[in-house]
Amino acid sequence: MKSSLWWHLRAQFPIYVAAAIIFIAGFALGNLTNPANAQNIGTLSEEEETLFQPLWETYRLILDQYVDPYEAEFTPQQLLDGAISGMIDALGDEHSGYMNPESFALQNTDLSGEFDGIGVVIRRNEDLGGIEVVNVLAGSPAESVGVQVGDIFREVDGVDVSEDTNLELAAKVRGPAGTDVNITFEREGELIDLTITRARINIPNIEYSIIEDTNIAYIQLNQFTSEARDQIDEALAELDVNSRDGLIFDLRGNPGGLLTSAIDVSSAFIKSGPILIEDFGSNRDEIVFEATGDFSGITVPLVVLVDETSASASELVSGALQDTDNAIIIGETTLGKGTVQTWRSLSNGGGIRLTIARWLTPDRNWIHGAGVTPDIMIDWDPDDGSDFGGPNDPQLSAAVDYLQTYDVIETIEKQ
């Protein structure tokens, strides 16, 4: 079976997959509603104007009296960014945040699987004091110039990026296909200067096949994009799934995606009834999302594979299938993200990612911080020689064993 990008990442860096940022994709988008505009918020009340007066006083004091204000490394825009970030950070919610105009444009990309970039996956390594390359995509511009796993970003177009966040660095590195970016990497204590020509890179969002030496269909989904349901329908048809002994739906390493996509995908496997409940808190009304009625007609048994990096929309789908007895969940306990975010654009071109609700499974379980617990727990240790996604994959093998046993039991019962 063909290994995907996420399998390779999972095998090399199992604990960091959910935190990585792909320069060619907005990776950790989470479980989102559609971006909207936050500019029509009305005027401030007299009480609010009084409350925010110290903010404007501080702003004017900095500009008027800070030593060498126009030679210091800040701009009024950066002061504003810092103030908004501080306000959001005061919520103490890791899933809410402020994105400056550059970061917002980067993260607000449609999850289509096509992006302009250099083709590497990154994560911040505090021990090394910078952002390191954790994977180089085959055939990418980065691979063609010799970028290696473990390289540390030090400068981009002459600007020091050692203290940048993943998003700040990604905003500097990404750009239109065909344009160049000059990057200085640190490798084994030496600095290496590379000029990389950005390109359009495609990542398949779905892979499917019949597992070798079985009659079991297999589908792996990498993200819950706007096209995910159509892709699944196509896969089900190509696999002729109802002529098989079962279906394995692999959500391992899937970080989530669009809320609407998660509902549509769940509806492929759930004929009717609730899929999730949105709880807005503070005695406000909740919303129950029902199956859309677009059931795919699957009649064979279904197994869903999850792991510790299956997050957000992946947990929504696996939790709904588990509660409604439409699937057996196999693997490891999922990440545990049980909140819903909305994205709002601001008048400065930036945006806010704000948690607006908790989501509950059909049985009203809130998985936040706890994750979805599989029906059959199977750990995977990258150090024990297991081949993630291959014939020695213990979780995949457990799913195959379950479906083959299920088929034997069904055959006996029919005799």
Question: Which of the residues are catalytic?
Answer: 312, 323, 337
How many angstroms separate the Cα of 65 from the Cα of each of 56, 71, 76?
14, 13, 14
Q: Is 46 helix (H, G, I), strand (E, B) or coil?
A: helix
285 exposed, middle or buried (CB, 10 Å; 0-12, 13-18, 19+)?
A: exposed
Distance of CA 44 to the CA centre of its chain: 36
H or E segment to which residue 396 belongs:
helix 394-414
Torsion of CA 104, 289, 376, 310, to 10 degrees: 0
Q: Which residues pair with 206 in a beta bridge?
A: 221
Half-sphere CA count of 28, side-chain side, radius 13 A: 21
Residues 6+ apart with CB under 8 A from 239: 208, 209, 210, 217, 219, 247
Whole-angstrom distance, CA of residue 137 vs CA of residue 199: 12
Whole-angstrom distance, CA of residue 285 vs CA of residue 230: 32
Torsion of CA 288, 228, 28, 134, to 10 degrees: 150
User: Tokens at residue 213, please?
Assistant: 């030496």
User: Tokens at residue 326, please?
Assistant: 């439409």
Residues 6+ apart with CB under 8 A from 70: none
Torsion of CA 106, 225, 142, 9, to 10 degrees: 120
How many angstroms separate the Cα of 54 from the Cα of each of 49, 50, 79, 213?
10, 8, 14, 70
Q: Which residues pair with 303 in a beta bridge?
A: 248, 328
